[in-house]
Chain A
C-alpha cells in the first residue's frame, strides 16, 4: 500500500491511510528519502492518526526514518498519535525519543515553522 506524500512549500506531508505492514513502512522510508532529496524539503510530517497500534517495529522504523531524513537535511515530526496508542506505547517503553511529535497536522506545521525543537 502506497502512502500518499504531498508537498506543501518546503515540507512533505505523508498521510498514512490504513494499517501498514512492515513492507509498507520500509516502502515509505524509501519514498520519503527520495522525495526529500528531490525537493530539498526542510521538514517532513508523518501523520499516523489512522494507526490503531504502534508497536516496537513501527517505532523503530519511524525513528530510523527520522534519523535518515535528518542526514538528508530534513526535520521529521510525527503527528496524530491517538491517546490509547500513546498510552500503550509508553507502557511498552517506546518513546520515539529524538523525534519531534505534535498533536495534528496544524500543530505539526507550526512545529516545523518554529524551526523545530522545543
Chain B
C-alpha cells in the first residue's frame, strides 16, 4: 500500500506546493504532459477554494485503482463553513464574489470523477479522480 501525500493548505503558497506534489505523483503514475497540467490545474482550483473560503484544510494525493483502471485520487478537505447550495455552487459561472467562480465546476470538468460532500458549519470534502487511458 503506497503512502499518501498530505499537503496542509493554509496560505496561497501551499497551493503551489500541492500542485507540484500532485504533478510529481501523476507523472510517476504515468500520465502524459497535457494530463499533468490538467491535474495540477484542478488541484490548484480546489486548493484555492480552501484558501478562499475555509481558511485552512488539507489535500491528500494518492494512487487509485478501480475495475482494472489505474489513476490518481485527490481529496481536498476543509473545516470551513460548508456550501449552502451545492447545485448552485457547481454551476458554471456562479460566483460568490471572488471572481470567475470557476473553481469547483472547473475542476469537475477537468477530472474524470468528482464527488463533493459538504455540511453547513462543518466543512467540505471533495474527491477527484483521473484515470490513465490505456490504448
Interface mask (B30-51 → A, CB under 8 Å = 1, otherwise 0): 0001101110110011001000
From A22, A59, A87, A88, name the one whose CB has the most chain B CB atoms within 10 angstroms.
A88
Q: Which of B15, B48, B93, B110 contacts A88 (CB 8 A)?
A: B110
* B106 contacts A92, C-beta separation under 8 Å: yes
Which A residues are CB-close (under 8 A) to B13? Answer: 21, 23
Q: Looking at chain A's contact residues, is the secondary structure mostly helix, strand, loop, or mixed?
A: helix
Q: Which residues of B contact A89 (CB under 8 A)?
A: 41
Cβ-Cβ contact count across A and B, 8 Å cutoff: 73
Asked if residues A56 and B38 are in contact (CB atoms below 8 Å), the reply is no
Q: Interface size for chain A: under 10, 10 to 19, 20 to 34, or 35 or more residues?
A: 20 to 34
Seen from chain B, the residues whose Cβ lies within 8 Å of a Cβ on chain A are 12-13, 15-16, 19-20, 23, 33-34, 36-38, 40-41, 44-45, 48, 92-93, 99-100, 102-103, 106-107, 109-110
Interface residues, chain A, CB within 8 Å of chain B? 19, 21-23, 52-57, 59-60, 82-85, 87-89, 91-94
**Chain B residues with CB below 8 A from A53, complex form:** 19, 37, 40-41, 44
Smallest beta-carbon distance B90→chain A, Å: 13
Question: Which of the residues B15, B37, B45, B109 comes within 8 Å of A84, measured between beta carbons?
Answer: B37
In the docked arrangement, what's the CA distance between A56 and B99, Å?
8
| Contact partners of A59 in chain B: CB under 8 A | 100
Interface of B is mostly: helix
A93 pairs with B40, CB closer than 8 A: no
Residues of B within 8 A of A52 (CB): 23, 37, 40
Residue from the list B34, B36, B100 in contact with A93, Cβ < 8 A: B100
Distance between A50 CB and nearest chain B CB, rounded to angstroms:
13
Decide yes or no: A23 and B23 within 8 Å by CB, A56-B48, A93-B92, A93-B106 being known contacts: no
Contact call B37/A87, Cβ cutoff below 8 A: yes
User: Given A92-B110, A93-B106, does the pair A56, B16 have CB atoms closer than 8 Å?
Assistant: no
Contact (Cβ within 8 A) A55 B100: no
A21 touches B12 (CB 8 A): yes
Residues of B within 8 A of A54 (CB): 41
